[in-house]
Amino acid sequence: MRIAVLALQGAFIEHERMLQKLGAETFEIRQERDWYQPMDGLVIPGGESTTMLKLLRDLNLLEPVRNAILEGLPVFGTCAGLILLARKVTGQDFDRLSTMDIDVCRNAYGRQLGSFYTEDKVEEVGDNIPMTFIRAPYINKVYGDARALAVVDGHIVAARQGNQLVTAFHPELNEDMRIHSHFIDIIREHIGA
Ligand code: GLN
């Protein structure tokens, strides 16, 4: 199984390490030509969504990545990755990947409260999942085919829509590998392995 990790900016190394520990092969997308090779899944890491979006556009990757996701490529977006996948982001009318039926609020917890740690249940995954939030967004609303998987303090912080999985927190920053393992299961199911 080969998983692409978008490595334009942000916390991508930690995802690679975790996926490798789980037995997956990973490779980085840093430039346009990196995209055009076989892959079974894609990770869009946390970082700064506006910067990542600009780089995706500059590299002519926005459309190809969007099309691959719409055709069913399994994708896991954390934090800024979640923002890029959202169809709607409060206060931001411009184009993104926009493949997931979620409405998102950026830097939603305010400057002070945006970074915190908690543990909570994630549907399909398990209980007491470590959740590290860093200037995190949250999901205001899921609709269409999207489903909420986790709610913390009344806000949706994880969701799934078909082969798309998103978390507002950073599971790659803790030792617990259950969320990444779940993403690998989604890929396995997709490729029928
Ligand atoms: N606040 C960032 C943004 O809006 C996301 C933060 C993160 O990915 N840790 O892009």
pLDDT value at residue 165: 98
> Catalytic: 48?
no
For residue 40, give the DSSP letter. Answer: S
Looking at domain 2-192, its CATH superfamily turns out to be: Class I glutamine amidotransferase (GATase) domain (3.40.50.880)
Judge if the beta carbon of residue 103 lies within 6 A of ligand 1.
Answer: no
pLDDT tops 80 at residue 108: no
| 86, pLDDT greater than 90 | yes
Q: What is the pLDDT at residue 12? A: 97
Gap from CA of 128 to ligand 1 centroid (Å): 23
Q: Is 49 in the pocket of ligand 1 (CB under 6 A)?
A: yes
| pLDDT band with cut points at 50, 70 and 90 for residue 111 | low
Residue 114 has pLDDT above 90, yes or no: no
Q: How many residues does the chain have?
A: 193
Q: Of the ranges 10-24, 34-48, 112-126, which one carries the lowest mean pLDDT score?
A: 112-126
Nearest CA to 104 out of 77, 65, 72 is that of 77
One-letter amino acid of 166: V
Dist. CA 115 → ligand 1 center (Å) = 11
Number of helices (H), then strands (E), belonging to the chain: the values are 7, 12
What pTM does this model have?
0.96
118 lines ligand 1 (CB under 6 A): no
Q: Are 52 and 79 in contact (CB under 8 A)?
A: no
Q: Determine the average pLDDT of the residues in 132-152.
A: 96
Specify the ligand 1 atom closest to the Cα of 133. 9
User: Is any ligand 1 atom within 6 A of the Cβ of residue 134?
Assistant: yes
Per-residue pLDDT, averaged over 107-113, amounts to 66
79 is catalytic: yes
Q: Phi, psi at residue 63, to the nearest 5°?
A: -65, -50
Catalytic annotation, pick one of 14, 15, 16, 79: 79
Pick 157 or 108 by higher pLDDT. 157
User: What is the Å distance from ligand 1's center to 97 Cα?
Assistant: 16
| pLDDT (0 to 100) of residue 95 | 86
pLDDT band at 92 (very low <50, low <70, confident <90, very high): confident
pLDDT value of residue 110:
64
- Whether 171 lines ligand 1, by a CB cut-off of 6 Å, is no
Q: Supply the pLDDT for residue 28.
A: 98
Average pLDDT over residues 50-58: 96
pLDDT at 54: 96
pLDDT bucket at 70, cuts 50 / 70 / 90: very high
Question: Which atom of ligand 1 sits closest to the CA of residue 80?
Answer: 8
pLDDT at 93: 83
How much distance in Å is there from the Cα of 193 to the middle of ligand 1? Answer: 34
pLDDT of residue 113: 63
